[in-house]
Amino acid sequence: MSIGIVPSILAADFTRLGEQVRAAEAAGCARIQVDVMDGHFVPNITMGPLVVEAVRRSCTVPIEAHLMITQPERYVADFAQAGADVIIVHLETAPHLHRLLQQIKGLGKQAGVALNPATPAALLDEVWDLLDLVLVMTVNPGFGGQAFIPATLPKLRSVRRLVNERGLPCDIEVDGGISAQTIGLVAAAGANLAVAGSAVFNDKAPVAETMAILRRAVE
């Protein structure tokens, strides 16, 4: 099994953000994720396009903007301009999802859709041709450091099966509760990208070491 690690800067030390992003890139991360929360769709407020700009200046790997916000169509252009390579929106916030994905792709960016734990994968049936990434949330979004929800694994397997059956070049990502104990489970279930926050950025070990621990867990 192999899986790309996508550090989430939600868990980073913002007094050393550039340093930690560079350390993650040096340790071989696949991407960097910026978690954007608005206090409406999720009960937390985090960061916006200015942080994406700062991360863009600090690394060369692709940047994902995970928009956990209402009315994402109002903001996708700002995140695209700030330097995000992949823009992920929540199906639950997008009544006009087809139009929104077209908007993202029209900006020259990869388009992703995130599914909360209670949202079925079948709701993607009409937009598969527009998707570059499906993000299966393995916690309920809003806060870092939550416990992994094992009941999301069948949905992850279903998404992998649907992507394979259609022969789509679509990444399958997971986000929430990813650690050395859970990363092997999601890799076996079909994910090729795993977002990790506190498992990468913490005060127990340097980033190079935490990334190595996650890699060893899927060898």
Number of other CB atoms surrounding residue 106 within 10 Å: 12
Instruction: Specify which residues 37 forms β-bridges with.
Output: 68
Q: Which residue out of 13, 129, 175, 203 is catalytically annotated? A: 175
CA-based nearest residue to 1, from 153, 188, 183: 188
Q: Is 132 assigned a catalytic role?
A: no
User: Could you tell me if 10 and 36 are in contact, meaning their C-beta atoms sit under 8 angstroms apart?
Assistant: no
Q: Which residue out of 35, 38, 132, 171 is catalytically annotated? A: 35
User: Could you tell me if 20 and 71 are in contact, meaning their C-beta atoms sit under 8 angstroms apart?
Assistant: no
Separation of alpha carbons 93 and 74, rounded Å:
12
Q: Is 175 assigned a catalytic role?
A: yes
Range list of β-strands (E), the chain:
4-7, 32-37, 63-68, 86-90, 110-115, 133-137, 171-175, 193-196
Known catalytic residues are 35, 175
